[in-house]
Amino acid sequence: MLEEMEIYDAHVHYLWRDSLAENRSKFMALQEKGLQGMALIVMGYHLADPQKCFEFIPHAYHDKIGQHIFSESSGMELPAADQFSNIEIFPYLDSRYITETEADLSRFKEKGFRGLKLLYVADEDKAYGMTGWTGLFGKSHQEYEKLTLHLIEQAVAFNWPVIFHADLRLHEGFIQGVLERFSGHSFIFPHFGFSRKIMARLIEQYTGCYTDFSSLLPFMQKNPERYREFIETYADRVLFGSDATSDWPDLISAYIETVKALIADDVIRKKVFRDNYLKVHQVRDHGAGDPGRAGC
């Protein structure tokens, strides 16, 4: 039955406004809906100035995040095992504030990080209200590409999956080069890469290329047929993802209900809710004989 299906969210940010404690009961409710695990994106390093930090976070999230979380340290520690009602956590290092000075990722590996999150926004993004990396740090596009490749090289060496936020309409050529250079490694391009058409082309060409529909809830609700067609066509490569913050469990719940309504086929639901996540994250033996098993 659908109510018993395991669900894994591939895109949750470890950010909050006031306190995480008040949402513990809501995460318990999500467990009852089937939520078993989350890819939790954690800022293991960030800038000392909260205002500077906010310049590289989409404006729509500013009222969801308290400035105090950036004032208390230069990097966030991984959460305790019971902080999310024992929901299984797969911790990704959010590298958006890392420059060449902090680019040795071995210390983050030692702390328990198991994946890399890249926010590849080179120039100012007026639509999302973000200063680009080059403007924030006063560096060149060439330096940004070099740093990004260096971080990816380490992630591949660590066998870390990579969540790679990039607008494929702007960076398709660079992304293609990455996928060719690190052939077969798992890359998840969230938000359908900002282009379903380009995303489909990359999925068809590269075996390590995955995607999720995080941040796309309003569009999925407005045009369900188009999104259903994409998900069903590329069911082996689409992960369930919400882009919620860690004190916004209601958003995860809304995504769960939308996907349940959108996808009628139980096999496809299982791939999107569970199987693709487990394959990318190598969380457990998913078994070649599993009929629901399929595939950044």
The token pair that represents 262 in the structure block: 């959108």
**Res 1 pLDDT > 70:** no
Helix 168-181 to helix 141-158 angle (10° resolution) is: 40
For the segment 23-38, the average pLDDT, to the nearest whole number, is 89
3-state per-residue secondary structure call for 177-207: HHHHHCCCCCEEECHHHHCHHHHHHHHHHCC
For the segment 264-283, the average pLDDT, to the nearest whole number, is 96
**Res 19 pLDDT > 90:** no
Q: Tens digits of per-residue pLDDT, 132-178?
A: 999 999 999 999 999 999 999 999 999 999 999 999 999 999 999 99
For the segment 268-282, the average pLDDT, to the nearest whole number, is 97
What is the C-alpha separation between 160 and 90, in angstroms, rounded? 11
Q: Given this model, what pLDDT does residue 174 score? A: 98
What is the C-alpha separation between 6 and 261, in angstroms, rounded? 16
Q: Tens digits of per-residue pLDDT, 65-95?
A: 999 999 878 899 999 878 888 899 999 999 9
The token pair that represents 52 in the structure block: 């500077």
Lowest mean pLDDT across 2-6, 52-56, 96-100, 177-181: 2-6
Q: Tens digits of per-residue pLDDT, 186-208?
A: 999 999 999 999 999 999 999 99
Q: Tens digits of per-residue pLDDT, 204-236?
A: 999 999 999 999 999 999 999 999 999 999 999
Domains of the chain: 2-281 (3.20.20.140)
**Res 284 pLDDT > 70:** no
Q: CA dihedral defined by 95, 201, 194, 225, rounded to 10 degrees?
A: -130
Higher pLDDT, 286 or 279: 279
